[in-house]
A and B are shown apart, each in its own frame.
Chain A
Amino acid sequence: MLASIGAGSLEDLFAHLPAEVRFERTLDIPAGKSEYDIVNYFRQRASENATGYSSFLGAGVYSHYRPVLVDAVVSRGEFLTSYTPYQAEISQGTLTTIFEFQTMICQLTGMEVANASMYDGSSSVPEAALMAARVTGREGILVSRAVHPEYRETLATSVRHQGLHVVEYAYDRDSGGIDLEDLESKLDSTVAAVIVQSPNFFGIVEDVRKAAELAHKSGALLVVCFTEAVSLGLLEPPRDADIVCGELQSFAISPSYGGPFAGIIATKEKYLRQIPGRIVGETKDANGNRAYCLTLATREQHIRREKATSNICTNQALIALMATVFMTVYGKEGLRELAVQNLSKAHYLAQQLPRRFKGPFFNEFVVSGNGRPPEQINETLLTRKIIGGLPLGRFYPELAGGMLVCATEMTDRQAMDAFVGVFVAEEALAK
């Protein structure tokens, strides 16, 4: 091959690089390792992480069972090792599954149209806010303090230089849901979007209808965000919202120390052209057969460049496919049954613990302080091979004694009883 291109050696191929640019030494990275060594290395790293623990952590990342079919499908090289489906003729597999994904997201959220997915839930929130600003021509964003704290931080970083003003409104200290009075007092004709999460960060199911009424009264859009997608198997979808965004990690996507996940954006049909990201549409091929292709591409960066709706040029196709297979396997009945199991487990646990908030909850709730620091309770739980809840002081100083706990279908009764046992024993120590 070298001879056919007239080169004497591989080094000749970059001999034209200016001398001051060339890297003359060898990269300081240990010599190549065998497959066995690599597997061994990562097994060792994995053993330094938690394994074999029961966990009560949720807070945006949930432990749900992953049906084996999910990995069987996403491990197929045709899905795993293909590119973005720009060449529709040889990408109908990916395109069809995305079209099914978009449809299921609409069915799940009660919206009319959805895109092909976003990076994750946290990035879907600023994209929804920017979309609302485009639709309304306004600049104010009101976000509930009961929206995931890391989502709010992401929102602040992302929209800071795009002329939007983000203001937080309070949650109700009694119910744990949004404080409607505070929201109403902050609403005016400059507000583009009211953002509410349901179930919210504290696990509380929000009154979406009331929030929508208030938002719409002042001409703002209502953005409803979610982090626990399984809740939609049981909860009335936020039909009164204008934009629904959120995170699908619960749908067979491994917690994987925080990513990769997949976010969604869904909305009303009239806002279709304001959605960021990729969208798949149905059409026909030259033989008249049904076919799918990427569509409405003129919204995107490779055509509109600096005027694009977003700089995003990927979706999370493979992760969205995991969610699609998950939704298919569980289906209409299964997702509901799964949601009922989550609800039942969390309520079983909650009955034995002091709850901080009174609002209705799905599979997460805030446990009031019992006089002992939650970090201390967690230390004791660890000795029983249990990872406790998330101490809230880090994000909410006013809730410093409390912790956020979650129970899913994978949380067994024994672990919950052990959790309660430790909590009660620690309480006794406090007295």
Chain B
Amino acid sequence: MIRKVRPHITQNEPLLFESSSPGKIGYQLPDLDVPAVDPAAALGESNTRREIEGFPEVSEVEAIRHFSRLSTYNYAIDLGLYPLGSCTMKYNPRVNEAVARIEGLAWAHPYQPESLSQGAMEVMAVLENALAEITGMDAVTLQPAAGAHGEFTGILLIRALLESRGNPRKNILIPDSAHGTNPATAHMAGYQVRNLPSNDRGMVDMEALVRLCDEDTAALMITNPNTVGVFEENITRIAAILHGKGAQVYMDGANMNALVGIARPGDFGVDVMHLNLHKTFSTPHGGGGPGSGAVAVKGHLEPFLPVPRLLRREGQWTWNYDRPDSIGRVRAFYGNFGVLVRALAYIMAHGGPGLKNATMDALLNANYIRTLLEPYYDHPHKAPTMHECVFSDEMQAKRGVRTGDIAKRLIDYGFHPYTVSFPLIVHGALMIEPTETEGKRELDLFVDAMISIAKEVEEDPELVLKAPHSTRTNRVDEVTAARKPVVRWKPAADEA
């Protein structure tokens, strides 16, 4: 039975370009307090455009209705559980939004004098320290703009270290359960990828690791807990094997929400890792960004961190560009500062003990879901669950229903789907991460929905196969979208 939702009215809304009327405006500029300059005279006739063809022309009220109506077509954390495995969709506290908008922070120009940027630099320094403490590492750069960008930075650091030792080496080992960004990153940093198989418990196959790790190995990129939601119990041995061959251990911190306050990568052999501040530290995903991919390193990698670095000199913060071994910049300016402010606000709100509590609640919620759903869904890897649990659709597939269908049916029950078909090592995966911010009531509704769908699969698989039934947009034709890509609006006349 569907208990969480019932349908309501949503407004139709054309595209901006279809609702525009010539001459309509939604803005007011102040009067110009200097003489107006003739563009053609100042810039040259050929450099000046007459108009921006097709650009919107709507009133203010039309604009706000447009975006408000479109917003109602979205699901969001603010509406309920968002159990996307590996994405850590936790509540985004609004105080974080408020503090990021304080004028002295939001309007700070990256080139304003350092003497007038001390507050911003202090925020970054405090956050760097907190992240170093949480990860057990020695230094942190906040420059990377997102997780994948952090990975790229981290692998460049490893490359720089190995080059300084005389040989950058050739290969990076990546477990077959890894996120697709890992191999893409390794390739961008000029490395070949060697695939590392998992064992039947979803962990790194130690024999294979010993066999594959050699003098050509630059690093292992490992996610811990891995994408099956399982802690790599051999992690210290794994690190020792890599270090024994002169290679480095990179940790993808996507699943750090399982470890904060209970285990630190720096203590179990990791040399460099990234954190997704938009996952573990609650900054909003915003429909796909912005994020921040801070990178934490052990001391031996510190000289290679991107420029500039914060430096305390005579009681003041300053930016230090004099770093001869640095890999260089990975982007302009200093990082996604607005995201950093939000992450620090989250850390301050929790404090040391609170961060550990959050982790334990995340583990509790994931184990609760695993326990209650295990009778209804195949759970292939029996190792203890950390912050997320991965089922397979093996039982439902017998009735012709796959993980993607169950996911779509969840929408009818008022939930965003879990992560579908990932990790690749689980055939037909359902990857569920509730996070710590969900209470028992929401979890029970979710569990009930999943059990109800399991029963529907037995009794009426068609109902599940054709889902969702209650959304204003139902199953979307992705094949036509890819075969005949239409990626921008054009006036009707142009289409003919």
Min distance, Cβ A203 to any Cβ of chain B, angstroms = 12
Tell me if B166 is interfacial: C-beta within 8 Å of chain A.
Answer: no
A80 to B74, CA, bound (A): 10
Contacts of B105 in A (CB 8 A): 42, 45-46, 49, 256-257
**A104 nearest in chain B by CB position:** B55
B474 and A103: CB pair below 8 A? no
Contacts of A113 in B (CB 8 A): 487-488
Contact of B15 among A7, A100, A332 (CB under 8 A): A100
A117 to B351, CA, bound (A): 35
A257 and B264: CB pair below 8 A? no
A87 and B104: CB pair below 8 A? no
A18 and B233: CB pair below 8 A? yes
Contacts of A295 in B (CB 8 A): 478, 481-482, 485, 487
Q: A21-B236, A161-B159 are in contact. Are A334 and B29 (CB under 8 A)?
A: yes
Tell me if A369 is interfacial: C-beta within 8 Å of chain B.
Answer: no
Sorted from nearest, which 9 A-B pairs have the closest CB atoms? Answer: A258-B333, A318-B286, A46-B104, A77-B78, A161-B190, A48-B119, A260-B290, A27-B352, A45-B119
Contacts of A262 in B (CB 8 A): 290
B52 and A31: CB pair below 8 A? no
A100 and B333: CB pair below 8 A? no
Min distance, Cβ A344 to any Cβ of chain B, angstroms = 4
Contacts of A72 in B (CB 8 A): 64
Tell me if A202 is interfacial: C-beta within 8 Å of chain B.
Answer: no
Min distance, Cβ B14 to any Cβ of chain A, angstroms = 10
Contact of A45 among B122, B287, B487 (CB under 8 A): B122
Interface string of A278-320 (1 = CB under 8 A from B): 1111111111010111011110111111111011111111110
B74 and A78: CB pair below 8 A? yes
A412 to B186, CA, bound (A): 50
A289 to B471, CA, bound (A): 12
Which residues of chain B (402-448) have a CB below 8 Å from chain A?
407-408, 411, 416-417, 422, 440
Contacts of B347 in A (CB 8 A): 29
A62 to B19, CA, bound (A): 31
Contacts of B120 in A (CB 8 A): 45, 49, 257
Tell me if A181 is interfacial: C-beta within 8 Å of chain B.
Answer: no
Tell me if A383 is interfacial: C-beta within 8 Å of chain B.
Answer: no
**A27 nearest in chain B by CB position:** B352
**B384 nearest in chain A by CB position:** A16
B67 and A360: CB pair below 8 A? no
Contacts of A119 in B (CB 8 A): 145-146, 149, 289-290, 331
Contacts of B312 in A (CB 8 A): none
Given contacts A32-B349, A82-B286, 8 further A-B contacts (CB under 8 A): A1-B440, A5-B364, A78-B79, A119-B146, A154-B332, A257-B333, A279-B487, A331-B58
Q: A311-B185, A334-B26, A336-B51 are in contact. Are A21 and B263 (CB under 8 A)?
A: yes
A314 and B148: CB pair below 8 A? yes
B355 and A90: CB pair below 8 A? no
Name the segment of B209-217, B338-346, B450-458 touching the other chain: B338-346
**A118 nearest in chain B by CB position:** B145
What would 21 A/B residue contacts be, using CB atoms closer than 8 Å? A26-B356, A53-B116, A63-B107, A69-B26, A77-B78, A78-B74, A99-B488, A119-B145, A122-B333, A161-B156, A234-B48, A254-B107, A259-B145, A291-B476, A308-B187, A311-B148, A313-B181, A331-B58, A332-B56, A340-B39, A344-B37
Residue among B36, B73, B267, B471 facing the most chain A CB atoms (10 A cut-off): B73
A306 to B417, CA, bound (A): 27
Contacts of B324 in A (CB 8 A): none
Tell me if B250 is interfacial: C-beta within 8 Å of chain A.
Answer: no
A45 to B327, CA, bound (A): 30
Interface string of B314-345 (1 = CB under 8 A from A): 00000000000001111111111111010001
Interface string of A44-86 (1 = CB under 8 A from B): 1111111101010101110100010101111111111111110
Residue among B57, B64, B146 facing the most chain A CB atoms (10 A cut-off): B146
Which residues of chain A (86-116) have a CB below 8 Å from chain B?
87-94, 96-97, 99-100, 102-104, 106-108, 112-114, 116
Contacts of B60 in A (CB 8 A): 69, 329
Tally B residues with Cβ within 8 Å of A.
188
Interface string of B100-141 (1 = CB under 8 A from A): 111111111111110011111011000000100110100000
Contacts of B338 in A (CB 8 A): 254, 256-257, 259-260
Min distance, Cβ A105 to any Cβ of chain B, angstroms = 8
B73 and A96: CB pair below 8 A? yes
Contacts of B123 in A (CB 8 A): 42, 45
A313 to B86, CA, bound (A): 14
A382 and B113: CB pair below 8 A? yes
Which residues of chain B (163-215) have a CB below 8 Å from chain A?
179-181, 183-190, 193
Contacts of B327 in A (CB 8 A): 157
A319 to B288, CA, bound (A): 10
Contact of B475 among A48, A154, A286 (CB under 8 A): A286
Tell me if A341 is interfacial: C-beta within 8 Å of chain B.
Answer: yes
**A280 nearest in chain B by CB position:** B487
Contacts of B111 in A (CB 8 A): 57, 59, 61, 390
A336 and B52: CB pair below 8 A? yes
Min distance, Cβ B362 to any Cβ of chain A, angstroms = 9
A82 to B76, CA, bound (A): 4
B478 and A102: CB pair below 8 A? no
A53 to B477, CA, bound (A): 53
Which residues of chain B (348-393) have a CB below 8 Å from chain A?
348-357, 360-361, 363-364, 367-368, 370-372, 384, 386
A27 to B350, CA, bound (A): 11
A330 to B60, CA, bound (A): 10
A148 to B111, CA, bound (A): 13
Contacts of A37 in B (CB 8 A): 348
